[in-house]
Amino acid sequence: MSAQTLRFELSEYRTRLEKARHAMEMAGVDLLVVTDPANMAWLTGYDGNAFYVPQSVIVTKDKDPLWFGRGMDANGCRRTAYIGEDRIRWYEDHYVQSDTLHPMMVLGQIITEEGRGSATIGVEKDNYYFSALAFEALSAALPNATFKNADRLINWQRIVKSEREIEFMRGAGKVVEAMYQRVSEVLRPGVKQSDVVAELTYAGTRGAGAYWGDYPAAVPNIGAGPDAAAPHLTWSDRPIRPDESISFELAGVHKRYHCPLARTYYLGKPTPQILDAEKAVLDGMQAGLEKAVPGNCCEDIAKAYVGALARYGLVKTGRSGYSIGLGYPPAWGENSASFRDGDKTELRPGMTFHFMSGLWYGDWGIEITESILITEGEVEFLSSVPRKLLVID
Q: Using H for helix, E for strand and C for coil, what is the string for 349-365?
A: CCEEEEECCCEECCCCE
| 3-state DSSP assignment of residue 326 | strand
pLDDT, tens digit (0-9, with 9 covering 90-100), for 283-308: 999 999 999 999 999 999 999 999 99
pLDDT number for residue 5:
77
CA 60 to chain centre: 26
pLDDT in tens, 166-221: 999 999 999 999 999 999 999 999 999 999 999 999 999 999 999 999 999 999 99
pLDDT at 3: 40
Average pLDDT score, the chain:
96
d(CA 256, CA 172): 9
- Classify residue 45 as left (phi > 0), alpha (psi -120 to 50) or beta: left
Q: What percent of the chain has pLDDT over 90?
A: 98
pLDDT of residue 317: 87
What's the pLDDT tens digit per position in 128-156?
Answer: 999 999 999 999 999 999 999 999 999 99
Cα dihedral 11, 348, 286, 309 in deg (nearest 10): 120
Q: Is the pLDDT of residue 1 over 70?
A: no
Query: How much is the average pLDDT of 69-85?
Result: 96
Q: What is the Cα–Cα distance from 88 to 81, expressed in whole angstroms?
A: 10
Residue 2 has pLDDT above 60, yes or no: no
Bridging pattern class, strands 322-328 and 352-355: antiparallel
Q: What is the Cα gyration radius of the chain?
A: 22
Q: What angle do CA 383, 215, 282 make, to 5 degrees?
A: 30
Containing 34, the helix (H) or strand (E) segment is strand 31-34
Amino acid at 234: T
pLDDT of 388 above 70 = yes
What's the CA gap between 326 and 251, in Å, rounded?
Answer: 12
Asked if 146 contacts 173 with a C-beta cutoff of 8 angstroms, the reply is: no
Compute the half-sphere exposure of residue 324: CA atoms within 13 Å on the CB side of its CA: 33
Give the phi and the psi of residue 160 in degrees, each rounded to 5: -100, 120
b/e map 101-140, b = 16+ CB within 10 Å: ebbbbbbbebbbeeebbebbbbbbeebebbeeebbebbee
Do the Cβ atoms of 201 and 252 come closer than 8 Å?
no
Q: What amino acid is encoded at 36 in this protein?
A: D
Query: Helical H runs in 243-369?
Result: 272-289, 298-310
The amino acid present at 295, given as its one-letter code, is G
Q: Are 34 and 67 in contact (CB under 8 A)?
A: no
Residue 91: predicted pLDDT: 98
Cα 216 to Cα 52, 254, 355: the distances in Å are 16, 9, 18
Give the right CATH number for 163-392 from 3.90.230.10, 3.40.50.720, 3.30.2320.50, 3.40.140.10: 3.90.230.10
CATH number of 3-157: 3.40.350.10
Amino acid at the residue 208: A
Region 97-107: what's the mean pLDDT?
A: 97
Backbone angles phi, psi at 146, to 5 degrees: -110, 130
Give mean pLDDT, residues 91-112. 98
Check whether 79 has a pLDDT greater than 70: yes
Q: What is the pLDDT of residues 231-271, one digit of tens each?
A: 999 999 999 999 999 999 999 999 999 999 999 999 999 99
Domain borders along the chain are 3-157, 163-392
What's the pLDDT score for residue 173?
98
Helix (H) or strand (E) holding 328: strand 322-328
Torsion angle of C-alpha atoms 117, 122, 123, 124, degrees rounded to 10: -170
Give the CA angle between residues 299, 388, 201 to the nearest 5°: 95
pLDDT at 4 over 90: no
